[in-house]
Each structure stands twice: as C-alpha cells, then as structure tokens.
C-alpha cells in the first residue's frame, strides 16, 4: 500500500512513478476523498473542543449553585446535545470515507524504485549477467522435457487430467522421487545459508492475501473455498509474510529470513494457452520460497543476497541461467525492484523464468501493518519485505530433464543431487 501522506504531499512525484509502469492511474478521486476526510476530521475536532468547553462550563455553573432549570444553563445543555448529535452524524461519514480511501489505495501498485530501469514492457528488461554457458548441451535433437519424461514413464498428464483438469500432472516413480529430492536439496541449501524453515498452512484468509497484494487485484488468479473465508495459497510468500501481520517487532528481531516448501495453486487465468504442456505453467506446482523481513536501510543489500541464494541452487546443479532486471513496465504489482532468474531450456533454445526475486520496500508491510521499534526511540517504522523462489521445483526438473539429457535417451543426475535421489541416471 502506498503512503497516503506521500501522495498528498508529492502527487506529481507519485504520478511520475506510476506512469513509468505504463498503466492508467488517476490520483484525483483519492485526493478528493482525502480532502473530504480531513475536512470532516477538522470539523469533528472543533465540535469535540466545543463539546468539552460546554461540559466544563456546565460543571462550573452547577458547582457554583446555578439551578438545573436556569434558562442560560439549559441553553448550554441544549447546545451540548446538538454538538453530540452532530458528532454522531459525522462518525459514519468518516468511517465510510476511510473505507473508500483504503479501497482505492489497495488498487494502486507499488512505486518503482529509483534504480529500477525505465521501460515499456519485457522487451526493455536489462540482462545483468549470464552463468554456465559452458554447461549448455551441444547435442542435437534434445526432446522437450515432457516428451523425455513420458518416455521414461515418470510423468503422466492424461491420468492427472482425469483426476482434475488440464494443467495438472502426476509424477510417477523416479519422477516423484526426483521432485522430492529437489525439494530436500533446496531446503538443505537454504537453511545452511541462514534461512529458518517454515511449514505454513496452505489455506489462508482474505486478509492475508490482501496484505501481500494478491487481493483485490488478482482474485481471478486464485482458487477460493466458497464456503469459507479461505483461499489456496499462490505462493508461500503469503502465509510466511503474514506470520507477522499486525505485529510490532523489536529491532533485534530483524532481519528475519525464512524459507518454505509448499505446493502452490494458481488459476493462470491470463496465460491464454501458453505452455499448456509440461511443467512450466501448472495450476498446482511445488516451490521453495525465500522470504525476508528487514530494516529499510539494509533492504537493498538483502535483496542482492537473496538473488545470490537463489542463484546458488542453479550453480550447484550446473544449470545455465541468466539474471534479468525487470523494467518499470514489466514490474510485478507489489515490487519496487525485481530480478528474474531465467534457466536455459535447450529444447526450446530459450531462457525461461525460474525465480522472481522482489524487493517490496514497505508496500506489503503497510498493507499488513508489520512494524518494528528501535529501543529508546519513539514511534515505529514499517519493515521492508522481500521474497523470491529458491526455486520453482517443477521448472527446475524441466531444466534438468533437458540439460542433462543423454544421446541414449537417459537423463543423468547432477552430482550434488545423487545422494538425495540415490541414483545417477534416470
């Protein structure tokens, strides 16, 4: 959520930042509502002051022996009653204006960071670096990951569709074991890097999704339990960040680094037929997520470290990838700055996203009211939140099946993964 005070005091700056996202964002209705609310607040303050003054005068006169039926005293009491009635009328008006302002604020995306590249769309993202070109397979005729997986008997989409619908898969035998091995490997590496593992609920309430920015904008992307105020999580970012919703942490509590494996559930409503085969874009998929809550002055460095923690998994698996910094026109709704890690898929001859590492600044913390307090200082500050995949497990498996594919139709297993899987080849 954006800072209403910043919008009020620097509307031109906010407009400039929002316009860099290439959307249409009108601040005027919000500013008008804010002006009405502040006018009502001023009126209420004046009325309360007058009411207090009347109460004091009535008390002094009665203490001085003025009779209760004295005309002058009765006039004061009548005025006091009128003030109370006006205050009573103002309360629902203020409440309604506050709700309208909050509803509008929830629709605005985060402001791009000062160092985020300006650009219209993904074609203007900036490639930061590449790693592992020497590990790109040179053989021809590499099969797409779903084809080699089906040949090996470790993936079945037809039976999964029978159970649910399209864009679900069933992993069998070594396929299920490989998925489990990747999850264990990733969690072991991230906990060794200093992340505390969390196993959170897979169902969360509306308030949780609102705090992290999925609601109200992305309601159509989420699966909802109609009979309860519960939604299937689209990512572990939601429950893990919301562990601290409506809390005031101490400065000593920070930084908080968590990692979590969870299944994730997304409708993929806007994908329009893209990646309908294989493991790239599913309604249900597994992911290991990295989440940080940090002090504002450290968030930039914490962001760089988070990216490196995600990269470390790809490097250990010797999977070629590149790091891309997203421009303002391709930035996610809540992110101020974001780096995508894109893994090499040789069958398609292209890089595909396997992790998005985002710095949200205080955007999510404002929505979720997550603050911290310095010892000996007055007031509180909002924490900064960050997250990224460490990694998307299905996409990692897809990359392994293609990059480690052998001419004889088998798939070799990276050395670091062999102790987890108990085999060196599929």
**Residue 395 among the catalytic residues:** yes
Residue 356 annotated as catalytic: yes
Backbone phi, then psi, for 288, in 5-degree steps? -105, 120
Rama region for 171: left / alpha / beta (φ>0; ψ in -120 to 50; rest): beta
353 is catalytic: yes
Distances (CA, A) of 402 to 173, 388, 405, 424: 19, 24, 5, 16
Q: From the CB of residue 272, how many other CB atoms can be counted at a distance below 10 Å? A: 6
189 labelled catalytic: no
Task: List the catalytic residue out of 53, 79, 353, 381.
Answer: 353
Rg of the chain, C-alpha, whole Å = 28
Distance from C-alpha of 264 to C-alpha of 268, rounded to nearest angstrom: 12
Judged by DSSP in three states, 342 sits in strand
The DSSP H or E segment spanning 381 is strand 381-382
CA proximity to 235, closest of 41, 390, 23: 390
**Strand order across the beta sheet in which 203-204 lies:** 203-204, 230-232, 224-225
Find the catalytic residue in 181, 222, 355, 356.
356
Cβ atoms of 202 and 233 closer than 8 Å = yes
Select from 284, 391, 301 the least CA-distant residue to 342: 391
Whether the CA torsion 315, 316, 320, 325 is positive or negative: it is negative
Distance CA 96, CA 40 (A): 12
Q: Which two tokens stand for residue 229?
A: 């105020």
CA distance 103 to 90: 20
Tell me how far apart the alpha carbons of residues 262 and 289 are, in angstroms, rounded to a whole number.
8
Q: In the chain, helix, strand, coil percent, each to 5?
A: 45, 20, 35
Active site residue 352: no
With vertex at residue 358, the alpha carbon angle to CA 355 and CA 361, rounded to the nearest 5 degrees, is 170
Q: Which of 21, 189, 281, 366 is catalytic?
A: 281
Of 21, 37, 189, 395, the active-site residue reads 395
The active-site residue, picked from 37, 167, 189, 266, is: 266
Active site members: 266, 281, 353, 356, 395
């Amino acid at each position: 959520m954006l800072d209403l005070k910043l919008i009020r005091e620097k509307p031109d700056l906010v407009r400039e930042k929002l316009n860099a996202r290439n959307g249409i964002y009108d601040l005027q209705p919000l500013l008008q509502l804010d002006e009405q609310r502040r006018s009502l607040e001023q009126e209420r303050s004046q009325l309360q002051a007058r009411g207090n003054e009347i109460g004091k005068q009535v008390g002094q006169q009665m203490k001085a022996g003025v009779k209760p039926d004295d005309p002058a005293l009765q006039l004061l009491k009548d005025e006091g009653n009128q003030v109370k009635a006006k205050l009573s009328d103002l309360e629902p008006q203020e409440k309604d204006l506050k709700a309208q302002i909050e509803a509008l604020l929830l629709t605005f995306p985060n402001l791009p960071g000062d160092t985020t590249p300006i650009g219209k769309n993904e074609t203007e993202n900036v490639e930061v670096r590449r790693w592992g070109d020497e590990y790109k397979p040179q053989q021809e005729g590499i099969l797409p990951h779903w084809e080699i997986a089906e040949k090996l008997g470790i993936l079945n989409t037809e039976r999964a569709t029978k159970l649910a619908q399209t864009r679900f898969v069933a992993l069998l035998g070594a396929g299920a074991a490989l998925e489990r091995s990747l999850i264990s490997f990733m969690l072991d590496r991230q906990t060794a890097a200093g992340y505390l593992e969390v196993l959170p609920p897979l169902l969360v309430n509306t308030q949780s999704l609102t705090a992290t920015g999925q609601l109200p904008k992305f309601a159509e992307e989420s699966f909802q339990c109609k009979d309860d105020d519960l939604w299937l999580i689209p990512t572990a970012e939601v429950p893990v960040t919301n562990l601290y919703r409506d809390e005031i942490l101490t400065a000593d509590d920070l930084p908080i680094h968590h990692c979590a494996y969870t299944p994730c559930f997304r409708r993929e409503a806007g994908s329009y037929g893209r990646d309908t085969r294989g493991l790239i874009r599913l309604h249900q998929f597994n992911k290991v997520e990295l989440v940080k809550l940090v002090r504002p002055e450290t968030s930039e460095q914490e962001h760089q470290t988070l990216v490196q923690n995600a990269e470390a998994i790809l490097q250990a698996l010797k999977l070629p990838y590149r790091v891309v910094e997203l421009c303002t026109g391709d930035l996610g709704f809540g992110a101020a700055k974001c780096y995508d890690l894109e893994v090499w898929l040789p069958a398609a001859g292209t890089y595909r996203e396997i992790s998005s590492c985002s710095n949200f600044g205080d955007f999510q913390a404002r929505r979720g009211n997550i603050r911290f307090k310095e010892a000996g200082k007055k007031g509180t500050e909002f924490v900064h939140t960050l997250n990224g995949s460490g990694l998307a497990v299905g996409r990692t498996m897809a990359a392994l099946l293609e990059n480690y594919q052998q001419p004889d139709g088998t798939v070799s297993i990276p050395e670091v993964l062999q102790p987890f899987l108990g085999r060196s080849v599929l």
